[in-house]
Amino acid sequence: MHALGRAENNQPLQFNEIQCRLLKQKLQETVTPLLSRVDKDSLPPEKQALFQQCCQGAALLELYRIVKRAEAIIHGCSTQDWLTAAIKLANSFEAFVDISFKIDWCTAVVGIVFSNAVTSELEHVGDNIDGFGETECVFKMEEIRSMLQQAASQDRDSLRRRLTEMQQDTGARSKQEIVAYLLKLVTTDPANMERTTVDLLPTIERKNLRRLRTIGEGAYGEVAEVEWLGQKFALKTFLGVDSSSFLVEANILAGLCHPNIVQIVGVCKGGRDCSIVMELMRGDLGRAINDAFGRSTSTSYHRKHNFTLPVVLDIMLQMAEAMQYLHRKKITHRDLKSLNMLINPAEIPEIAEAGYIDVKVADFGISKIINATTTISPQTLKIGTVLWMAPEVWSEPETDSSKMKYYPLKSDVYSYAITCYEILTGRMPFEGILRVAIPEMVRTGLRPSLPKSLPTSLSSLIECCWDADVRRRPPFSRISTELRHLKGIYLISDCGGPSQTFAKLPFSMAPEDVDTEIETDNTVRDMYTFLNTMHDLKRQLQEKDQTLREQNEMLTKKDQTVREQNQTIQKLLARQGRFDVSQLEEASPVDQKLSLSFSPYQTLREKDKTLQEQGQELQEKDQVLQEEDQAIEKHHARHATFKCRGCVVQ
């Protein structure tokens, strides 16, 4: 517990001086008085055991985690190698705001825990969403945000002046590259920048990047680990100089600054490709989920623990806070899923040992910035990954116009809920369902089944997020508030507080818990079997249709051959002055005798007629098969809504 109070850094601050001093002041005004107000030795013997339990509980661990994050920021701004540290911290205004809010919130939670330990009356927060004084924290944060914004502007001006002096110093030539980069970085204020262009981004010379290894490859290009100025980064390369994916992602990332969003460092242009230099992450949330449930084949990142309830709440809250920031910037992600959430293990050993991870939203390749002139056309719909796409995304604007004005932002809320299902169950959404059937079934109310052991308050929140009515889905600001409240209740419950307020604890993350959700209703199984049968029958009909088409094509070729032979014989007859075979009945006996040598022509005409009749018969059969295929598809559409393994219909 005493380690929580050592947030002071005696080294001189090199940049972000005013913001760091405000953060230090916040720690001194909140954390230090909280930890010094209770003396364990002064408590009665019966209270000392409970107080010791509180000091070892989740609430103090969470506060320790927040204080260590604050210390890391202050240390980064005061390190001797401050130029390198400034690459990541020069524009860290949102990080200061975020950590300041978390300090206020967590000290309120720990205050309740200590009160429970030293008094005979336990504080019940119940379902009161403001049980931890969040309204007061938010009110304080508006004032703190304003102070930090002014401080950030002053710190940026101070850093700019110092860098300008270094640029003019002939004795600092070895540092000119990083100085020029940082000057470009602090030219524009990211806190007030709604959108920027690639030309305003810092440009990094490709020759100065040392390639270490390939992380991943795809149709768009590749991601590689590189080293620049002694630090490791990720280099995301797009094929083609005019790649739209490059322009979109660089445009969007450039103006973003949040601790839960992947940071863009700069761009590389030239040659036949374009690249974005980004902060390096250890893996993605999808692989971490597979690791947690024992389904991973990756060797790049391995967890030591399954997800516990506090870790789950923390991951969901990090995602929600990142999306809240994006939506405040009027940016919609449109491809939110576990694979687009990048992760790092917690830097603090004690926190990493507890299973916590740092989550950051990434891959803005199909994001869209919304403004007053934004329109949603059929071309902009149906963008994303099928399993995570909201029902309104599958609808045409003219048939769902009442929902389209909510589409850009609220579709992210639906995708967020599906991603939460992944985290809670370790399963892919809609397992066992044909991909082609998912859009219609989602539109008619199909949703994944949440574990029965999940606290009711959490399952209700997720169900609201994937509600079919777009207007009933909560914004990410509300989602963050709800999750923060649930997290606070758990932290208090883990320290001997009123655990009855958080029903069904502890939450089991075992796969067996999800298996109990599998429906065994005979109708569901029959409908699922019927759908698969219809799909197999349709495939067989398509194969038969393909065979008939091939046969018809062969007959057409034979018919063409016969016609060519016919033309050859006619030309031969014309050269020899003979009558056409069709005129033999009216010809003289002599002419008929002379034409006997051309009897093969008559045979070919008969074969031609036979082939034409067979071709017509095959076309009639093909028409009948197509009508049967259409009837089966209509029947399949009428019976496509059903329950299946791991799924229910709302």
pLDDT tens for 526-539 read 554 555 566 666 67
The gap from C-alpha 252 to its chain's centroid, in whole angstroms, comes to: 15
pLDDT at residue 1, rounded to an integer:
45
Inter-helix orientation angle 93-118/476-493, to 10°: 30
- Rounded to an integer, the average pLDDT of 133-140 is 65
Here the tokens at position 525 are: 């199984």
- pLDDT band at residue 246 using 50, 70 and 90 as cut-offs: low
User: Which residue did the predictor score with more confidence, 137 or 335?
Assistant: 335
Question: Between the ranges 324-328, 492-496, 612-616, where is the mean pLDDT highest?
Answer: 324-328
Pick the range with the lowest mean pLDDT from 101-105, 246-250, 506-510, 541-545: 506-510
Got the DSSP string for 227-249? EETTEEEEEEEEESTT-HHHHHH
- pLDDT band at residue 72 using 50, 70 and 90 as cut-offs: very high
Task: Tell whether the model's pLDDT for residue 615 goes beyond 80.
Answer: no
- pLDDT band at residue 484 using 50, 70 and 90 as cut-offs: very high
Taking the CA atoms of 445, 450, 456 and 461 in sequence, report the sign of the dihedral they define: negative
For residues 117 and 47, the answer to whether their CB atoms sit within 8 Å is yes
Task: Tell whether the model's pLDDT for residue 452 goes beyond 90.
Answer: no
Pick the range with the lowest mean pLDDT from 209-218, 224-233, 465-474, 597-606: 597-606
What's the pLDDT tens digit per position in 6-63?
A: 445 568 999 999 999 999 999 988 887 776 665 655 666 666 666 666 666 788 888 8
pLDDT at residue 99, rounded to an integer:
94
Taking the CA atoms of 88, 93, 94 and 98 in sequence, report the sign of the dihedral they define: positive
- CA nearest to 181, candidates 152, 211, 208, 212: 208
Here the tokens at position 249 are: 């992602």
pLDDT at residue 519, rounded to an integer:
37
- pLDDT band at residue 382 using 50, 70 and 90 as cut-offs: very low
The CA dihedral of 313, 319, 322, 324, to the nearest 10 degrees, is -80
| SS3 of residue 521 by DSSP | coil
- pLDDT band at residue 605 using 50, 70 and 90 as cut-offs: low
Task: Tell whether the model's pLDDT for residue 548 goes beyond 90.
Answer: no
Taking the CA atoms of 103, 105, 110 and 115 in sequence, report the sign of the dihedral they define: positive
Got the DSSP string for 590-645? HHHHHGGGGHHHHHHHHHHHHHHHHHHHHHHHHHHHHHHHHHHHHHHHHT----BT
Report the chain's C-alpha Rg in angstroms.
35
| SS3 of residue 9 by DSSP | coil
User: Which residue did the predictor score with more confidence, 636 or 73?
Assistant: 73
pLDDT at residue 497, rounded to an integer:
47
- Residue 262: DSSP 8-state: P
| SS3 of residue 125 by DSSP | coil
pLDDT at residue 14, rounded to an integer:
92
Pick the range with the lowest mean pLDDT from 243-252, 629-638, 639-648: 639-648
- pLDDT band at residue 407 using 50, 70 and 90 as cut-offs: low
- Residue 261: DSSP 8-state: B
What distance in Å separates the CA atoms of residue 69 and residue 98, rounded to the nearest whole number?
11
Task: Tell whether the model's pLDDT for residue 624 goes beyond 90.
Answer: no
**Domain ranges in the chain?**
1-191, 281-517, 527-649
Q: Give the CA distances from residue 255 to residues 86, 181, 189, 194, 200, in Å, rounded to whole numbers and listed in that order.
A: 17, 16, 9, 6, 10
User: Which residue did the predictor score with more confidence, 617 or 233?
Assistant: 233
pLDDT at residue 498, rounded to an integer:
45
Here the tokens at position 486 are: 């649930």
- pLDDT band at residue 506 using 50, 70 and 90 as cut-offs: very low
Pick the range with the lowest mean pLDDT from 429-438, 585-594, 621-630: 585-594
Task: Tell whether the model's pLDDT for residue 483 goes beyond 90.
Answer: yes
Pick the range with the lowest mean pLDDT from 136-145, 354-363, 448-457, 579-588: 579-588
Task: Tell whether the model's pLDDT for residue 95 goes beyond 60.
Answer: yes
Q: Give the CA distances from residue 118 to residues 52, 124, 218, in Å, rounded to whole numbers and listed in that order.
A: 11, 15, 58
What distance in Å separates the CA atoms of residue 608 and residue 79, rounded to the nearest whole number?
91
**SS in 3 state form for 203-222?**
ECCHHHCEEEEEEEECCCEE
Residue percentage of the chain with pLDDT more than 70: 64
pLDDT at residue 184, rounded to an integer:
84
Here the tokens at position 434 are: 């044909």
pLDDT at residue 188, rounded to an integer:
63
Task: Tell whether the model's pLDDT for residue 383 goes beyond 50.
Answer: no
pLDDT at residue 512, rounded to an integer:
37
pLDDT at residue 576, rounded to an integer:
61
Here the tokens at position 519 are: 């429906």
- Residue 366: DSSP 8-state: T
What's the pLDDT tens digit per position in 150-205?
A: 999 999 999 999 999 988 887 666 788 888 889 888 876 554 444 444 555 788 88
Task: Tell whether the model's pLDDT for residue 595 goes beyond 60.
Answer: no
How do strand 647-649 and strand 446-448 relate by DSSP bridges? Answer: antiparallel
For residue 369, what is the enclosing H or E element? strand 368-369
pLDDT at residue 23, rounded to an integer:
94
Q: Is the bond into 506 cis (omega within 30 degrees of 0)? A: yes
pLDDT at residue 274, rounded to an integer:
79
pLDDT at residue 577, rounded to an integer:
59
Task: Tell whether the model's pLDDT for residue 133 goes beyond 70.
Answer: no
Taking the CA atoms of 472, 468, 318 and 193 in sequence, report the sign of the dihedral they define: negative
Phi, psi of 320 (to 5 degrees): -65, -40
Whole-number average pLDDT of the chain: 75
- CA nearest to 367, candidates 433, 412, 399, 430: 412
What distance in Å separates the CA atoms of residue 18 and residue 361, rounded to the nearest whole number?
29
pLDDT at residue 374, rounded to an integer:
41
Here the tokens at position 218 are: 């795809």
What's the pLDDT tens digit per position in 553-585?
A: 888 888 888 888 878 877 777 766 554 545 544
- Rounded to an integer, the average pLDDT of 210-220 is 84
Residue 208 half-sphere exposure toward CB, CA atoms < 13 A:
16
pLDDT at residue 352, rounded to an integer:
84
| Architecture of the domain delimited by 281-517 | Orthogonal Bundle (1.10)
What's the pLDDT tens digit per position in 106-124?
A: 888 888 887 776 664 444 4
pLDDT at residue 120, rounded to an integer:
47
E strand intervals along 101-220? 210-217
- Rounded to an integer, the average pLDDT of 68-80 is 93
Residue 134 is which amino acid? E
What distance in Å separates the CA atoms of residue 250 and residue 237, rounded to the nearest whole number?
11
Residues 6+ apart with CB under 8 A from 233: 225, 226, 227, 265, 277, 278, 279, 280
